Amino acid sequence: MLSQVESHLRSDRFPHIWCPGCGNGIVLAALVRAIEELGYDPDKTVVVSGIGCSSRAAGYLDFNTLHTTHGRALAFATGIKLARPELEVFVLMGDGDATAIGGNHFIHAARRNIDLTTIIFNNSIYGMTGGQYSPLTPPGKRATTAPYGNIERSFDIAELAKGAGATYVARATTYHATMLEKLIVAGARNKGFSVIEAITACPVGYGRRNKMGNGLQMLLWQKEHAVTVKQAEKMSPEELRDKIVIGELYKGEAPEYTAMYQQIIERAQKITGQ
């Protein structure tokens, strides 16, 4: 008998492309469990992704899926949500996809507060193309394009999302897979733009170069460096310097874009009589 997760996978697409120890499968499984918990009809559930190792997840999932172009997943997802607002739309992006080439789409989707649930697979690197640094690679870390250490400061994706207008912002690691699942559920229930950052391991493109060990050791690194929102409240900025704060980081209220768009359509129809 197929497990809950397996029943939503396209088994004919296997074996998957992910390296041993890669965290992407943990995020994919958390998403499937979240969709099950939400009770969404698979035929009314859409998963859109960009390009990258993480974005291959969409192809393995047996929902309505779109594997689009690098950095443009949110543009495709926006079109789907505007045309069919009744559909539940999830957007999967890598850290490079969401914050480098797709950075503009990201801030404007947040500004519009469009009802999409975005999961960012943050492995701190461009995994698929061989380990170039991304806007989420921490300063000092090594990449193929920063062999002596990255001199750029990294974005705080959660702060960026909140500042740009997202109404649900959360973070978990793949070590905290159950928390990740719960945050995806809560993000999907938010009627607006939701961002869930999933800290995930790329032992091949990032871990090896930064001497972080194999996938298991990278999971343990996540465990050791994560602190909950509650714990973080009692810590100084100095104590939080190398920590990952996990949990619900922000919940806000703002008008949702597709609902406002529908009102404009109705107003225009009244005025023009069409």
Residue 197 contacts ligand TPP per CB under 6 A: no
Residue 131 contacts Mg ion per CB under 5 A: no
Instruction: Tell me the closest approach of the beta carbon of residue 217 to ligand SF4, in angstroms.
Output: 13
DSSP symbols for 178-207: HHHHHHHHHHHHSSS-EEEEEE---IIIII
Instruction: Tell me the closest approach of the beta carbon of residue 17 to ligand SF4, in angstroms.
Output: 6
Contacts (CB under 6 A) with ligand TPP, residues 114-153: 121, 123, 125-129, 134
Given Mg ion, ligand TPP, ligand SF4, none, residue 22, with its beta carbon under 5 to 8 Å by kind, binds ligand SF4
Q: Output the residue with the shortest Cβ distance to ligand TPP.
A: 94
For residue 255, give both structure tokens.
């008008």
Given ligand TPP, Mg ion, ligand SF4, none, residue 51, with its beta carbon under 5 to 8 Å by kind, binds ligand TPP
* Candidates 12-20, 64-72, 121-129, 215-223; binding stretch for Mg ion (CB under 5 A): 121-129
Cα distance between residue 11 and residue 195, in whole Å: 28
Residue 66 three-state SS: strand
Q: What are phi and psi of 129, to 5 degrees?
A: -95, 10
Whether 52 and 68 have beta carbons less than 8 Å apart is answered as: no
Whether 128 and 51 have beta carbons less than 8 Å apart is answered as: yes
How many Cα atoms sit within 13 Å of 32 on the Cβ side?
Answer: 20
Residues in contact with ligand SF4 by CB under 6 A are 18-19, 22, 24, 53, 123, 127-128, 202-205
- Three-state SS sequence of 37-64: HHCCCHHHEEEEECCCCHHHHHHHECCE
x-or-dash string of contact with ligand TPP, 57-86, rule CB under 6 A: -------------x----------------
- The alpha carbon dihedral of 24, 193, 67, 142 has a sign of negative
Q: Which is nearer to ligand SF4, 108 or 141 (CB)?
A: 141
Q: Output the residue with the shortest Cβ distance to Mg ion.
A: 94
Q: Which is nearer to ligand TPP, 23 or 192 (CB)?
A: 23
Tokens 């989707």 belong to which residue? 109
Residue 124 three-state SS: coil
Cα distance between residue 208 and residue 214, in whole Å: 8
Residue 49 contacts ligand TPP per CB under 6 A: no
Q: Which is nearer to ligand SF4, 5 or 19 (CB)?
A: 19
Whether 58 and 47 have beta carbons less than 8 Å apart is answered as: yes
Residue 92 contacts ligand TPP per CB under 6 A: no
For residue 12, give both structure tokens.
């004919």
Instruction: Tell me the closest approach of the beta carbon of residue 214 to ligand TPP, in angstroms.
Output: 18
Q: Which residues bind Mg ion (CB under 5 A)?
A: 94-95, 123, 127
Q: Which residues bind ligand TPP (CB under 6 A)?
A: 51-54, 70, 94-97, 101, 121, 123, 125-129, 134
